[in-house]
Amino acid sequence: MATGITVAPSGVTWLAIDTPDRRVGGQVVENIGNLHGPPFRLFAFAMLVLVFVLFLVFTFLRWLCD
């Protein structure tokens, strides 16, 4: 059982727990993404690296302008 972003037939996006038959609240929902797969982990790691690099750049620029 994995947690992912699911879309109800009405088009409402929500976070839900995927059951084997993917029924949430009596409605069958389709899984459009898995928040635990390698692509998401890679994206999250890339975002952390980007934030760290931007922090270093702005810290250096602030030090340079003093």
Task: Give strand pairing partners of 50.
Answer: none
Tell me how many domains the chain contains: 2
Same domain? For 6 and 23 the reply is yes
Same domain? For 29 and 46 the reply is no
Same domain? For 10 and 25 the reply is yes
Instruction: Classify the C-alpha dihedral 55-60-63-65 as positive or negative.
Output: negative
Evaluate whether 25 touches 15 at the Cβ level (below 8 Å). no
Same domain? For 21 and 44 the reply is no
65 vs 50 pLDDT, higher one: 50
Same domain? For 22 and 41 the reply is no
48 vs 43 pLDDT, higher one: 48
In this prediction the pTM is 0.42
Same domain? For 21 and 45 the reply is no
In this structure, the chain runs to a length of: 66
State the pLDDT at residue 3: 54
pLDDT band at 21 (very low <50, low <70, confident <90, very high): low
Task: Give strand pairing partners of 31.
Answer: 6
Q: Which domain holds residue 61?
A: 36-66
Same domain? For 43 and 65 the reply is yes
